[in-house]
Amino acid sequence: MSKDLKARTKLVHGGTRRSQYGEMSEAIFLTQGFAYPTAEAAEARFIEAGEDEFIYARYGNPTVAMFEERIALLEGAEDAFATASGMAAVNGALMSMLKAGDHIVSSRALFGSCLYIVENILPRFGVEVTLVDGRDNDAWAEAVREDTKLVFFEAISNPTLEIIDIAAVSAIAKRVGATVVVDNVFATPVFQRSLDLGADVVIYSATKHIDGQGRCLGGVVLGTKDYIRGTLEPYLKHTGGALSPFNAWVMLKGLETLDLRCRAQAESAAKITEALSVHPKINRCIYPGHESHPQVDLARRQMEKGGTVLSFEVAGGQAGSFAFLNALRVVLISNNLGDSKSIATHPATTTHQRLDDTQKAILGITPGLVRLSVGLEDTDDLIADLEGALAAAAV
């Protein structure tokens, strides 16, 4: 498919492979293996598989390939490898490139499982990890050494929505030839082009916006053909983090509406921020697209829109935020994000519970902090629900 077509066209048609039946909706090739016409054909395929030749679903599958090609077209990447979950993608991207004795630099404000990999798993295998405040470009410049192998960060951190300057950090990494790996879940592939800004490898948890309707786990790693086929694929195909064909099909259908959903959700998130940032029971409201965000200039330079998630601090600490959460009628209490259903999360007691008080304080995870993933409900209904719950919360 032509790379010149616009994003929404790519998201509907990209990567499609039609069988002899000419089906409109992409087929689910729910098969582990593939039969060869002859023994010679099997031998040839094991020597080198052609573009649309498959061997075993742990290596690749036609439905999974459709998903990989479609998301690669959107991201503007040469290639992609789909994984069973976002964490299989993060683990695969990092482990496939690292060995004992290597040094990496990572931002400290990471999704809990990402932090576990860089803080607990990698050091067990002899990888030296330096954690930095990702917002501080000088800290990156100080931490990156001649022998630094890669840098890793979430472009927008969870849950306090701090923004990392991808172009600046990439320039620092490039000086020593380090690979730049970006987890781009919060920014979404719709609003941010991390590869254009200097990243080498981009990762998504497809569980979030790409499915967008709370059904399946999935993930994807995007980068150059050399990296994806030469470095990542050998690691992933032998360690088993493959995406199931059924889940790939769900993600493919999710991609068709991704742009529309993200735009509608971001528009709602911006309106909700306007309403909450002046509310007397909200101490602070954080949204990358709002002028009150301390890094709003960077946000506007780096992202087309502020994303679909905001965080805010309810007055009255944990009692205040719990009373607020318990009074919500439309917004659900859960811990996913990017879903069509709006979701409120209390990071201090759920997703970030494992951190001690000092770590929480460093990351700004206060007892009153609530993260809101804005869904597809009517914006006025959402604002009424949030304001009603704030009124009900005794502070």
Ligand X SMILES: *Cc1c(COP(=O)(O)O)cnc(C)c1O
Residues that bind ligand X in the complex, under the rule CB under 6 A: 85-87, 90, 111, 113-114, 154, 158, 183, 185, 205, 207-208, 217, 219
Residue number with CB closer to ligand X (154 or 162): 154
**In this chain, which residue has its C-beta nearest to ligand X?**
86
Closer Cβ to ligand X, 345 or 379, answer by number: 345
Q: Which is nearer to ligand X, 16 or 113 (CB)?
A: 113
Question: In this complex, which beta carbon is closest to ligand X, that of residue 91 or of residue 366?
Answer: 91
Query: Could you write out the three-class secondary structure of the chain?
Result: CCCCCCHHHHHHHCCCCCCCCCCCCCCCCCCCECCCCCHHHHHHHHHCCCCCCCCECCCCCHHHHHHHHHHHHHHCCCEEEEECCHHHHHHHHHHCCCCCCCEEEEECCCCHHHHHHHHHHHHHCCCEEEEECCCCHHHHHHHCCCCEEEEEEECECCCCCCECCHHHHHHHHHHCCCEEEEECCCCHHHHCCHHHHCCCEEEEECCCCCCCCCCCCCEEEEECHHHHHHHHHHHHHHHCCECCHHHHHHHHHHHHHHHHHHHHHHHHHHHHHHHHHCCCCEEEEECCCCCCCCCHHHHHHHCCCCCCEEEEEECCHHHHHHHHHHCCCCCEECCCCCCCCCEEECHHHCCCCCCCHHHHHHHCCCCCEEEEECCCCCHHHHHHHHHHHHHHCCC
Smallest separation (angstroms) from ligand X to the CB of 327: 26
Shorter beta-carbon distance to ligand X: residue 9 or 120: 120
Rounded Cα–Cα distance for residues 80 and 199 (Å): 14
CB of 294 to ligand X, least distance (A): 20
- Measured from the CB atom, the residue of 217 and 298 that comes closer to ligand X is 217
Q: Which is nearer to ligand X, 87 or 161 (CB)?
A: 87
Quick one: 86 or 320, whose CB is closer to ligand X? 86
Distance CA 10, CA 21 (A): 22
